[in-house]
Structure 1
């Protein structure tokens, strides 16, 4: 006789069996009897019209949880419209399961931009036909609090399923807004064909003169193995430079199918394309998760998420920033080009034909030689000219006040409190005038703060309070003689009331606010994502500090998006002066980054110079308003001695309770501050005596790490 445990196990097994649907013809009869179109049913099930057609002709079956929803709907219809029952005079209102839902397969306006290293010159595609492969299920995702919903752009009919999908080993391609497509591909060429012809993936251009974004397919480890790729890339080079050898079977498959790879080859981020024909672009981006395509520093925890959640994170980033094209640094750089396309259509005056011409305000299509002091020591301009005149040293602060300059009153304060400026480089990019043309060389020019460029000037005579870092050097030490500075640094010396008399300058005649649209889009992405995490502009300072304390726990996916946005800012600025990579490089050789019009170290210097000057201006204003001086500064983080464990205990406020202008202010927008960390004052002094920077370690507490890391 069976035991109770065995009986229950048998019952559980029956309950777990997939629900049975009526025959395909009956499904179609019930839908027609209810007066519901296939398109309306597809919207309710969050799938495609083609999928509903497939359900009703027997070509495919829905999967869980769409299967259960479809079965519930059919059961409801069967009760109302029996096969041999009387006809109903007026169709009743459909039940909740059959109510149409808003179309959620929104394809955000994300542009296509040139490859960060070397990409094929190809053109935007013609409109894609509706995908033939069905969307088969929506995955269950982790529970999360309801977030404030931003208005979505209208769906582009060419890209009904959004910008990207995450492919699992069972052929499920998880897209944005919960959609899952059936992908039958078993080889990389088949995957590329399916993506371009059937998936409905891609995104529209951001700028009217730009290009549409190529679809992105993210491969899980299981999907990569199924397609014949190794689980890991092995080698002695830096992982980001690893790629499959040219004789690998998958590379041979791609070549045999007459597809091409960019010069980056088949690595963690691979672009597979065919040269444009008749203006039609054919290009697919692949990202391999198990090959570290998503760096944990920029995408914390994302590589370990379920495919549906990976798609959610990348989909939000694609909607608010750009479809990822590589690292967040690459994406940051590509966003600049997408928002300021180098060319536009212009009419030839002689022939009347429309041709490609320069787009005003952009950096153009050709790389530009830097001025020698703006270049790096290994750059061909420097090596070939034997330049010995020095270089710009516009870098972020790494400064610690000498312990000899600490007062007894400061040492007796109980706490050291760290403030961090939100995306300080992004704030510096706002309304920043940069050079657009090549530099011209001048001797003994009159300084003009409105002209971007590099100036050789002696600022060693500027006398400032030694308890503050010098605004002219990243170390905070006073200059000892003539040196090269970016315009903002020299202008600040003039602002402080000192005479400046440049010996030389490399200046640019054509100028513009090149980074303005980049700043605007990233600022909106940053502020909106913080708001979705509960950190909004209308909070009081006390409420803001409390919200920041818990924001990362509200929604791990959105927290990862926020981290990626911040990494996009820093990485994008850094890419403007990308150095050569690889142990085989020799000084004086050109490296791939130099072939980009966006290799512009002068623009990077302008951003960092303005950010450092902004920081010093706030430090000086704080000293004037509160009498407090910083213990240390590291880039956008500053540490102050404090009578309490909160920034509210030392930040300047007016009698009305409003923050005093000019100093540090708390808030969620770029340039405002948040709490970085709190430690005991004795901890900070101990680090300073050992030569460490408290600003580097105040967030983590125990830290005796190498300051050179």
Structure 2
């Protein structure tokens, strides 16, 4: 057997059993990765088992239907019994596509090996494309690159995104020596700590224990639940827009990472406050009526107001773009934006977090650097002009397909990590009141997820407003980080206002950095009107299909 490692490393593997393989990995191969933080831990070695390795170590190359549903092979399997007899343990998720084999730590010494099994669908094709079918040396190169620029994978990209937060901000650190010269574990400032904290009732998703008294089929209103989600908004084209030739989509690079950059989030438990004075620097959830905010007249600079056509704009306060009709719960960035637009706010109630900090900054910087470095390897650099950038982005995935997979995985790590902050129970059989394991970890923080999504949506709306105030152009559809405009040309440069090579300040700017935009796709206006008519869906969100024009499923725009 051969082990293919990062950097072209190839090792002979003498191990003839799974137990021997684990012990060889820790004792002789000494694989792994240095810690990402001074208070953190070195990364455990990761073994990716090919089909040949699975056969050698008496493991099934594929899982049965029952095993796929369970997410693991049974504990009675011969390989697991051998591990147990040798003193090795598995985590609660057992021996599945991502397994962790360990012995309890002795002091600071860890004995743990992670196992990834591509033939068991460990590498989700949505994020890793065809990585599972790559030859071992190529797969080692891909995962080695991801490990060096992000971290050694700990599971899915979502799990890794969450683990990266903890790796960069460990919950504890070593204290100063006491009188006896010993050091102890103490809280690491700026981290989420070791113990989970309860969310506010408005932040709790359906099924949460805090909502045990809520009737089973009760639909919570905006005044009862925090609904900070990404945009899904569209409108009919105006008569003037129908005279244009093209619909052009632009997409914000690493939008959720940009939303996390510099964001102050709560670190501890919430404090309930009645009739609070809004403080834009205080993270939390606020019950406030924003229905009075009129988008037809908004402040776009310190002393500059703009007159806009509010009927052509989504509301910044709801995911569907509808204007709110009364009090609702919002995260701090959303309420702060209402103030920025020039309107007063008077919260009725709030859950604020006075213990707070910029917890996600290091996480953002790590993922930003990984993304930019990998895109630069593909020929897309941060210092390109707008036209050069569009040319460089054209077909970049074909220059090195493995690097393109790494880009996809890095972006999925961002979105998945944010989503994992409010992980829901899995499986159709789960019912309220049953164990919800995610609640036991300190990184189950729906308030942080809400704040990131809120800021990401507000960042998009701010650019849309600046663009409309300067050009008179309005989007016809917005889906999360993608906006579609009608114009007389197939390129973003046909509607983005560039003067002397410089973009509109505060508006959309072409470039590879997080928060800047790239070309998502172009279709004809006739295509857009045609698919809406074909599927009898006047509210069909064209941003969902602008990339390649293929409409595979609709919901009548509702």
Alignment partner of 1:394 is 2:233: no
Shift of 1:462: 1.6
Q: Which residue of 2 aligns with 1:371?
A: 200
Aligned residues: 534
Q: For 2:451 and 2:55, how far apart are their aligned partners in 1?
A: 46
Rounded to whole Å, the distance in 1 between the matches of 2:66 and 2:291 is 46
Q: 1:674 aligns with which of 495, 518, 524?
A: 518
CA distance in 2, matches of 1:533, 1:271: 34
Mapped to 1, the partners of 2:62 and 2:548 lie a distance apart of 32
Contact kept, 8 Å, 1:400 with 1:688, in 2: the verdict is no
What SS does the corresponding residue of 2:175 show, helix, strand or coil?
strand
Is 1:176 matched up with 2:9? no
The reply to whether residue 697 of structure 1 matches residue 531 of structure 2 is no
SS in 1 for 2:503: coil
Does 2:285 correspond to 1:454? yes
Alignment of structure 1 residues 230-241 onto 2, 5 Å: 230-236=60-66
Q: For residue 423 of structure 1, what is the aligned residue in structure 2? A: 254
- Greater shift, 331-340 or 273-282, is seen at 273-282
Deviation at 1:351, TM superposition (A): 5.3
The reply to whether residue 187 of structure 1 matches residue 187 of structure 2 is no
Instruction: Tell me, yes or no, if structure 1 residue 218 matches structure 2 residue 48.
Output: yes
The reply to whether residue 541 of structure 1 matches residue 389 of structure 2 is no
How big is each residue's C-alpha offset from its partner over 1:663-694, in whole Å with a ceiling of 9 and x where there is no partner?
Answer: 11100110100011000012123344523211
Partner of 2:306: none
Deviation at 1:254, TM superposition (A): 1.0
Q: Equivalents in 1 of 2:107, 2:355: separation in Å?
A: 36
Among candidates 388, 409, 413, match of residue 244 of structure 2: 413
The partner residue of 2:267 within 411, 421, 436 is: 436
> How much does 1:348 deviate?
6.4
CA distance in 1, matches of 2:377, 2:50: 28
Larger radius of gyration: 1
Q: Secondary structure at the match of 1:674?
A: strand
Q: How does 1:605-684 map to 2 (within 5 A)?
A: 605-654=450-499, 656-684=500-528
| Offset of residue 611 of structure 1 | 0.3
Deviations 1:346-375 (A, max 9, x none): 136565531000000000000111000011
1:271 counterpart residue number: 100
Which one of the candidate residues 73, 76, 85 is aligned to 1:247? 76
Instruction: Report the TM-score when normalising by structure 2.
Output: 0.93
Tell me the residue number matched to 2:554.
706
2:548 pairs with 1:686: no
Q: Deviation per CA, 1:33-70: give whole Å up to 9, x if none.
A: xxxxxxxxxxxxxxxxxxxxxxxxxxxxxxxxxxxxxx
Contact conserved, 1:217 with 1:285, CA < 8 A, in 2?
A: yes
Note if contact 2:467-2:504 (Cα within 8 Å) is conserved in structure 1.
no
Question: Does structure 1 residue 285 correspond to structure 2 residue 133?
Answer: no
**Bigger relative contact order, structure 1 or 2 (CA pairs below 8 A, ≥6 apart):** 2
- Are residues 331 and 480 of structure 1, via their aligned partners in 2, closer, same or farther at CA, if it must alter by over 3 Å? same
Cα drift, residue 592 of structure 1: 1.3
- Asked whether the equivalents of residues 380 and 590 of structure 1 are also in contact (C-alpha less than 8 Å), the reply is no
- The answer for the alignment partner of 2:135 in structure 1 is 306
User: What TM-score, normalized to structure 1?
Assistant: 0.74
User: How far off is 1:186 after superposition?
Assistant: 2.3
Q: Give deviations 1:297-317, integer Å, cap 9, x for gaps.
A: 111121111100000000000
SS state at 2:125 partner: coil
Shift of 1:706: 3.2
Question: Is there any run of 5+ residues in structure 2 with no aligned partner, and where?
Answer: 296-309
Structure 1 unaligned blocks of 5 or more = 1-170
Q: Deviations over 1:602-659 (max 9, x none)?
A: 00000000000000000111111111110100000111001100001110112x2211
1:55 match: none
Q: What is the DSSP-based 3-state SS (H/G/I as helix, E as strand, rest coil) of the residue aligned with 2:380?
A: coil
CA displacement at 1:569 relative to structure 2: 0.3
- Secondary structure of the corresponding residue to residue 608 of structure 1: helix
Q: Displacement, 1:277? A: 1.8
Instruction: Assess if the C-alpha contact under 8 Å between 1:273 and 1:284 holds in 2.
Output: yes
The DSSP-based 3-state class of the residue aligned with 1:473 is coil
Say what the alpha-carbon RMSD is for the aligned residues. 1.6
Deviation at 1:279, TM superposition (A): 2.8
Give the secondary-structure state (helix, strand or coil) at the position aligned to 1:679.
strand
* Structure 2 counterparts to residues 83-232 of structure 1, below 5 A: 171-232=1-62
1:553 aligns with 2:370: no
C-alpha deviation, 1:582, in angstroms: 2.0
* Contact 1:262 1:271 (8 Å CA) reproduced: yes
How far 1:567 moved relative to its partner?
Answer: 0.4
